[in-house]
């Protein structure tokens, strides 16, 4: 991978991880505050749905942002975006699905590209 690809991976991680935190932090605050009212899109209960969404949109997004176990942590994010686009917004017009599909594309590209040279993964791998 040349430097251009490493910069591309960094940019995707900053956009995909950083901007998802805008969605994850309010859900984390809701969870920490004990408010478990949430959608139940896949039938596992609102509490479990909120916990899994916080895991993806906050924990995994933070890991993607810094480039820690990036390929692995994009998987819960991709699943969350598929559920958001095609289950939560199933009956909505495309404009409501568009953002989740865009995030999915960022995570899919990041999954295939990896975290790149400018990441915690690379730093940790170079120390071993």
Q: What pLDDT digit, counting tens, does each position of 15-71 carry? A: 999 999 999 999 999 999 999 999 999 999 999 999 999 999 999 999 999 999 999
Task: Report whether pLDDT(127) > 90.
Answer: no
Supply the pLDDT for residue 3: 85
**Main-chain dihedrals φ then ψ at residue 43, nearest 5 degrees:** 75, 25
Which region, left, alpha or beta, applies to residue 76 given φ > 0 means left and ψ of -120 to 50 means alpha? alpha
Tell me the CA distances in angstroms from 72 to 29, 39, 44, 52, 120, one per residue in order.
25, 25, 23, 15, 14
């Amino acid at each position: 991978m040349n430097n251009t690809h490493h910069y591309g991976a960094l940019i995707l991680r900053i956009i995909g991880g950083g901007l998802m935190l805008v969605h994850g932090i309010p859900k984390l605050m809701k969870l920490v505050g004990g408010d478990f009212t949430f959608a139940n899109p896949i039938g596992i209960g609102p509490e479990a749905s909120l916990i899994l969404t916080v895991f993806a949109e906050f924990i995994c997004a933070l890991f993607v942002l810094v480039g820690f176990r990036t390929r692995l942590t994009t998987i819960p994010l991709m699943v969350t975006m598929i559920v958001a686009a095609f289950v939560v917004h199933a009956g909505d017009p495309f404009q409501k699905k568009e953002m989740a599909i865009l995030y999915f594309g960022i995570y899919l590209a990041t999954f295939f590209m990896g975290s790149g040279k400018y990441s915690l993964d690379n730093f940790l791998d170079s120390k071993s």
